[in-house]
């Protein structure tokens, strides 16, 4: 199952590897933001990549309140149950920590199907933290991005023989990609290629509901002080408060704002950008591969393993301005970026994951979980 523009690139290399194996058959369920036109209708990207989509499960109904999120999760769980009944999978593959991940895990676990979960065991802020660990406890096979995450899952009582530190599959895509030039990208996205490029993605924090628009304005006011920058901004996700944030962004005439950017173009923008700003996990997980400086704002990524490319700041205009100046003009700091290593993978994760999926022994013992110590 894939539900968002964020989780799909992180699992795409795994799906491609599954399709290459004669002993495996991929059946794909698409749900979440992929099916919402307002957020770019990103199911088109999946189809363009050549994947057959076996089931579509609509879940969102234009309500981004906490109540709306709860109702969306219920619709997702209901639709997933019907899809799984029709498809009858041997193993169900899930990734990351979205509400559709939790809703899907609940239905699949109740239907006695083994769940393989990618990127559990990590520590962050917001409701994602609770969702991630809940999905871990419903899953049976664990593919973590780091050794630290694997150790946390084992401490949660999961059987060590089913916990595999394999790295992040998105790094596989980065390692294999030919990036577009800044000039090519400027034609597509309408920015001035002669100016420094900044990538801006800031999501509302669900546990700070009602504060998203104000927090966004703090960041925008800081960016206003740097007219020499060209800002390419991406819509926030569909979490509670997301639409308020998008409305605020649209009021800024000097931003180049998009509901979605294809993963190839987004990675190319990261390759050509001066820095990233906001609270997207891409700044923590993928940016180190580009030695790209990231200004991470607020609590959304609290606790997540970082490389040396990240400057953490609170929702303070003054602190954000200082960080932007450091990003642009501190030559010593920028020089250190060249030595940054990405702790999330080496470009070989998909093969490791699919090797395990292809050879795993399916048995009642796998389904019947017990806490181990």
Assess if residue 16 is contained within a domain.
Answer: yes
Could you tell me if residue 116 is inside a domain? Answer: yes
Q: Is residue 209 part of a domain?
A: yes
pLDDT at position 172 is: 95
In this structure, the answer to whether residues 278 and 155 fall within a common structural domain is no
How confident is the model over 308-322, as a mean pLDDT? Answer: 97
Residues 42-86: tens digit of each pLDDT: 999 999 999 999 999 999 998 878 899 999 999 999 999 999 999
Measured CA to CA, the distance from residue 64 to residue 244 in angstroms comes to: 9
Model pLDDT for residues 203-237, shown as the tens digit of each residue = 888 788 888 888 988 999 999 899 999 999 998 86
**Is 92 found in the same domain as 32?**
yes
Q: Does 312 score more than 70 pLDDT?
A: yes
Q: How confident is residue 20, by pLDDT bands cut at 50, 70 and 90? A: very high
1 assigned to some structural domain: no
**Total number of domains constituting the chain:** 2
69 located within any domain: yes
| 173, part of any domain | no
Residues 224 and 323 in one domain: yes
Over residues 229-254, mean pLDDT: 76
Secondary structure (H, E, C), the chain: CECCCCHHHHHHHHHHHHHHCCCCCCCEEEEHHHHCHHHCCCHHHHHHCCCCEEEEECCCCCCCCHHHHHHHHHHHHHHHHHHHHHHCCCCEEEECCCHHHHHHHHHHHHCCCCEEEECCCCCCCCCHHHHHHHHHHHCCEEEECCHHHHHHHHHCCCCHHHEEECCCHHHHHHHHCCCCCHHHHHHHHCCCCCCCEEEEECCCCHHHCCCHHHHHHHHHHHHHCCCCCEEEEECCCCCCCHHHHHHHHHCCCCEEEECCCCHHHHHHHHHHCCEEEECCCHHHHCHHHHCCEEEEECCCCCCCCCCCCEEEECCCHHHHHHHHHHHHHCHHHHHHHHHCCCCCCCCCHHHHHHHHHHHCCCCHHHHCCCCCC
266 & 249 share domain: yes
Give the integer Cα–Cα distance in Å for 165 and 146: 6
Q: Which CATH number fits the domain that encloses residue 205?
A: 3.40.50.2000
Calculate the average pLDDT of the chain.
93
List, for residues 106-157, the tens digit of each pLDDT value.
999 999 999 999 999 999 877 888 999 999 999 999 999 999 999 999 999 9
82 in any annotated domain: yes
- The pLDDT confidence band at residue 96, using thresholds 50, 70 and 90, is very high
Q: Are residues 275 and 161 in the same domain?
A: no
Phi, psi of 153 (to 5 degrees): -65, -40
Residue 202: which domain range?
A: 179-339
Q: Is residue 124 part of a domain?
A: yes
**% of the chain at pLDDT higher than 90:** 80
- Given a cut of 90, whether residue 187 has pLDDT beyond it is yes
Is residue 355 located within the same domain as residue 252? no
Same domain, 237 and 97: no
Same domain as 330, residue 251: yes
Residue 238: its pLDDT value, please? 59
**Which pLDDT value is given to residue 128?**
86
My answer on whether 222 and 117 are in the same domain is no
User: Which pLDDT score is estimated for 170?
Assistant: 94
Question: Which has more pLDDT, 269 or 64?
Answer: 269
Same-domain check for residues 229 and 318: yes
> Residue 313 pLDDT > 90, yes or no?
yes
Q: Say whether both 334 and 357 belong to one domain.
A: no
Same domain, 250 and 161: no
* pLDDT for residue 242: 65
pLDDT at 104: 98
**Averaged pLDDT, 348-359:** 97
Portion of the chain with pLDDT greater than 70, in percent: 97
């Amino acid at each position: 199952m894939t539900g968002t523009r964020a989780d799909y690139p992180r699992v795409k290399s795994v799906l491609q590897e599954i399709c290459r194996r004669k002993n495996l058959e991929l059946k794909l369920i698409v749900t979440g933001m992929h099916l919402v036109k307002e957020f770019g209708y990103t199911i088109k990207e999946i189809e363009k990549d050549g994947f057959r989509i076996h089931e579509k499960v609509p879940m969102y109904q234009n309500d981004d309140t906490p109540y709306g999120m709860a109702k969306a999760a219920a619709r997702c769980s209901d639709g997933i149950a019907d899809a799984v009944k029709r498809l009858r999978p041997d193993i169900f593959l899930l990734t990351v920590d979205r509400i559709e991940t939790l809703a899907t895990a609940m239905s699949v676990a109740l239907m006695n199907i083994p769940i393989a979960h990618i990127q559990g065991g990590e520590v962050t802020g917001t409701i994602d933290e609770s969702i991630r660990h809940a999905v871990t406890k419903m899953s049976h096979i664990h593919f973590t991005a780091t050794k630290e995450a694997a150790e946390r899952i084992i401490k949660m009582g999961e059987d060590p023989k089913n916990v595999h530190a394999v790295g992040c599959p998105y790094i596989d895509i980065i390692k294999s990609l030919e990036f577009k030039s800044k000039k090519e990208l400027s034609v597509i996205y309408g920015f001035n290629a002669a100016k420094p490029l900044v990538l801006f993605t800031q999501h509302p924090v669900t546990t700070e509901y009602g504060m998203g628009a104000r927090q966004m304005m703090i960041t925008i006011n800081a960016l206003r002080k740097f007219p020499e920058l060209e800002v390419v901004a991406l819509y926030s996700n569909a979490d509670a408060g997301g639409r308020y944030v998008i409305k605020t962004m649209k009021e800024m005439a000097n931003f180049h704002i998009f509901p979605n950017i294809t993963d190839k173009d987004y990675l190319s923008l990261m390759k050509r950008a001066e820095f990233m700003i906001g609270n997207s996990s891409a700044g923590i997980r993928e940016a180190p591969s580009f030695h790209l400086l990231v200004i991470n704002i607020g609590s959304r990524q609290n606790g997540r393993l970082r490389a040396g490319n990240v400057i953490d700041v609170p929702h303070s205009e003054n602190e954000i301005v200082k960080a932007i100046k450091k990003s642009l003009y501190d030559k010593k700091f920028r020089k250190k970026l060249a030595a940054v290593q990405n702790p999330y993978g080496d470009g070989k994760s998909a093969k490791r994951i699919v090797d395990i999926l292809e050879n795993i022994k399916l048995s009642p013992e796998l389904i019947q979980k017990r806490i181990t110590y």
